[in-house]
Each structure stands twice: as C-alpha cells, then as structure tokens.
Structure 1
C-alpha cells in the first residue's frame, strides 16, 4: 500500500505545482516532466522501502489522469526511453556473461537451456494459438520466434542481485538460454521471412543515393 501512496502523492503534488504560472514548464521540455517524476520516485521508494513497481504503475496512472498534456508530450519520448534502458540493461547483462561464469555449467544445464528454447516455449506458444485463424506456417513461425520478452533478463539480474541460494546458478542458466536464443533466432529470421514471403515495409530506406532517386522521380 505504501507503494500506491507514494506513486499517487508525488505526481499529484508535482502536476498541481505545474499549474502555477511560476513553475510552468517550457513547452518543448514538457516531455521531460514525467521522467523527472520517475527520477524523484525511485529514491523515494528506496528511502521509504515502498514497492517501486507498484509506485511506478500508480504514478503513471495518476499523471495520465491529472495532466493529459504532459502525458501526450511524453508519449513519443516514452516510446524511445524503454528501448534505451533495455539496451543499457542488455549491455550490463552481456558483460556478466563471461567464460568464467559459464565454464562450470554441466551438460545437464545446457540441455535445460536447449529444451527451453526448442521445446518448452514453442509448445506453449502453439498451444495458445490452437483456436486462432492463423495458417499452420505462421503459427509455427510465431511459436519459434516468441514471445521472448525482456522479463527474462530482468529476472536473471534480480536473481543475481538478491543473494538467494543458487542465485548465481539461476542467473547462469538464464544467461546461456538468452545467449543461445539470440544466436538461433537472429540466424533464422531472414530464412523464415523468405519462406513466409514477408515483404519489407514500404518506408524502409532503399540505399540508393538521393540524386539517383530524384532522377527516377523526374
């Protein structure tokens, strides 16, 4: 409950303060307002021992309700921010996957990772798509590629940071599973797309010089 209270109180006070003429934000910088709230929210949760995930959820809902203008300004910036933070987390995750960490893994550990990629995830995905109108080839492609999500990286880092028994072993299993998934799925996306005759979007760059494109338009 403390997380809910913190998540509601902080954005509510700040959004009410923004309505004062003295504290009115520069229009072109309004997208940074929600980010500033998040920066304030995280240390507050740390100091009060409030649940940061619950506080973040409550803060987003409160901000969208009380200040739709800031929420709209933040929308585009907010789409890019998670991708940036994911990239940073992947860099940290990748730096932790060293030969020393995975050299002690047994054959059984590698088998578990391979089964998770080749059997568990595709089987569960196929089961969830049984009653959908998708053709069999598309269902197979969906089962092979996803959903992968980013949660496994977060859970692996949390297990490593929590200091629980066998936490490092859990992280190492997650690490090799993700690493194998990246290699396998990144190596097969183009062949699968060609097999399904998936055309690239029209707005992708063609690689032709602007002068040549201009001549073709003329």
Structure 2
C-alpha cells in the first residue's frame, strides 16, 4: 500500500505540473524517476526492492506489453508501406550499427567480456519515444521526423528481443535452445494476428452491436486476451502484443485513431509505475558498484553510439539538417532495455550483475537527458517544419 500511495501522490504532482512540463524542460517521467529514488533503498527506504524482486519483473512485463500493443496500433501496414524508407534505414542499418558501437564501447571502455558486451549492446539498442514525447506528439514537428521516430521505436523493441535471446542461447546460458526461441517468437506473431483478427471479425457480425461507450474496451479486451494466452501456448507475449496492435491498425485504422486513447492512458500509467519502481532500484550501492569507466561508457553510449550509427544510416535521406540532428539525439532508452537487462541478470551469465548495473545507469541517464531536452529541441525544429 505504501508503494501505491507514493505512486498516487507522484501522479497527482505530475498532473498539477503537466501544463508546465509541456512548456519547459520539466519532465513528468523524471519526476517519477526521482520519486522512486527518494523512497527506495537509497532514500527514505519506504520501498525496498531488488532487481530480482517479482514485482519488478511483473510490472516491467505489463508495461512493455502495453507499450508494444499501443505502439502497434499506430503502425498499420498501409502506413508503414507509405513511408518506409527512413524507418527502414533506421531499423535495418541504424539498429545493428548502434548495437555494434555500444558493444565495442562496453568491451573497450567498460571492460566487459565480449559475450557481456554484445548482450549490453543488444539490450541498449531499442529506443522509447515516451521520453521524447514533445517530439513525437508535437504537430509543429515535421510528419516525416515523427513517423521515423514512431516507427523505429515501435519496431526495434521486437527486433532486439530475438537478438538478446539468441546471444544468450549461443552463450549456453539460456533456458531454451535458439530453435525454441525462434518458434516462440514466431508463435507470438501468429497469436497476435489470430486473436486480433478473429476478435475484429466477430465484432463485425450483424448479431452483435457495440455501444459507442464500450468501443474502447474492445481494444483492451484484445490486449488482455493476447497477454493471457501467450504463456499458455508458449508464445512470446511481447511480439504477440505488438502484432495484435499492428493487426488492429491494419484492419480498422479509423477505430484505432478514435478509440485507443483509453489503451494509451492505461499504458502510460503502467510505464510511469515502472519508472517509479526502476528509480527505487537506483541505490548508492548500485551507483558505487559501477566503476568510473562505466559512467564514461554510459555517456558515450548516449552521445556517441546512437548519434553516429543513425547519422550513418540516414546519409542521403530526405531530412533537413535539424531533423537529422534531432533523430540522432533522440534515441532514448526505456522499458524494453530494463526488461531485457533483467533477462540478462537472471540468465546466469558470469557478468550479469555488472551488465545490469551498466544498463540501469544508461537508462536512468537517458530518462534525465532526453526527457529534459525534448521540448527545447521541438521548439528548435518547429520553424523549420512549417513548410514540411
């Protein structure tokens, strides 16, 4: 109950300063992170959690499934086909280059073994648009830049997951073989398409009629069914949620635009709760356990690895100079990285604790840096976006 009270108080504070946050560098995500640090083991000790605590894993899983589901509902196949070039470059070239650059930094700067370095590179290559909300959600920013960041962040979580599982399997520390992981991932995609497609087909039958007041719950029901069915049929719940969202956006794009507000708000609450819990994990012990080379790695992974990788991927792309700089900078790390980091922590890899500590430092630094600069960069972009 203490955790729920802290979350409620922090949520109230976030609501009260939300208008200020929309206009300044003040960030509600940072507020929840700092609140978690304050009440966690490194602060007043009201909430004491360890990275392997069940509540951490459960909340992170719920948040990521909700994020992937709502991200998918923004990315119907028609929309993807209409403007695929820039996101395709970011995903097919920028993502592996980011992973490569991060892995090299993790090995040569942070001193990780090659296996741990590649794992950290894979864990930290996904991006999260939540911490750059002023960019993705601001109408004054060009559509092509918003589309690029939306599609990239919507798809790279799912692309990074099989890489993480594959490295663990090749390293001999995964619970299941690489082949079983592939089957699980493919099963997740199939499950999401089947459940979402079947539910929407049933909803169209003349026998049924959905009241307008209940329309948003159709999407929530699909998401809950996919999440509950995935473990029962040994399918990956994350890819199942994402493919279900894409299926909804493809079959009924007009419905997702009108009725996904409830699903997005639910996902936002889960994400903010996950940020609070993540903040509670940032203790003096964790900070002290990271050597100075780890902090150098964290800075370089944010200001060198992603910018250089995406800059190379976008060479020749139809973006203005300012748009390219914004895309290179806004590669925020979020919930996917935390969850994949927890997978590594529980995998039995020799350097798992050290790897997770590095991931935690990078994610915390990303939340602070990207959430505090999105409004500034958005205003910098807007004059150039009016003609786009």
TM-score between both structures, scaled by the size of structure 2: 0.42
Q: Would the alpha carbon gap of residues 87 and 18 (structure 1) be closer, same or farther in structure 2, given more than 3 Å must change?
A: same
Contact 1:30–1:73 (Cα < 8 Å) also in 2: no
1:148 aligned residue: 332
Unaligned 5+ runs, structure 2: 1-185, 384-388
Task: Write the deviation string for residues 5-29 of structure 1: whole angstroms up to 9, x where unpaired.
Answer: 4323333443344345665332111
Deviates more, 1:180-189 or 1:82-91: 180-189
Pair member with larger Rg: 1
- RMSD between aligned residues: 3.4
Query: 5 Å matches for 1:1-218?
Result: 1-19=186-204, 23-64=208-249, 70-132=255-317, 134-135=320-321, 139-140=324-325, 142-143=327-328, 145-148=329-332, 150=334, 153-161=335-343, 163-164=346-347, 165=349, 166-185=351-370, 196=380
Contact 1:10–1:41 (Cα < 8 Å) also in 2: yes
Shift of 1:108: 1.7
Shift of 1:138: 5.9
Contact 1:113–1:177 (Cα < 8 Å) also in 2: yes
Contact 2:337–2:363 (Cα < 8 Å) also in 1: no
Unaligned 5+ runs, structure 1: 200-218
Cα distance between partner residues in 1 of 2:378 and 2:249: 38
Number of positions where the alignment pairs a residue of Structure 1 with one of Structure 2 = 194
Q: Would the alpha carbon gap of residues 177 and 161 (structure 1) be closer, same or farther in structure 2, given more than 3 Å must change?
A: same
Q: Would the alpha carbon gap of residues 98 and 22 (structure 1) be closer, same or farther in structure 2, given more than 3 Å must change?
A: farther
TM-score between both structures, scaled by the size of structure 1: 0.68
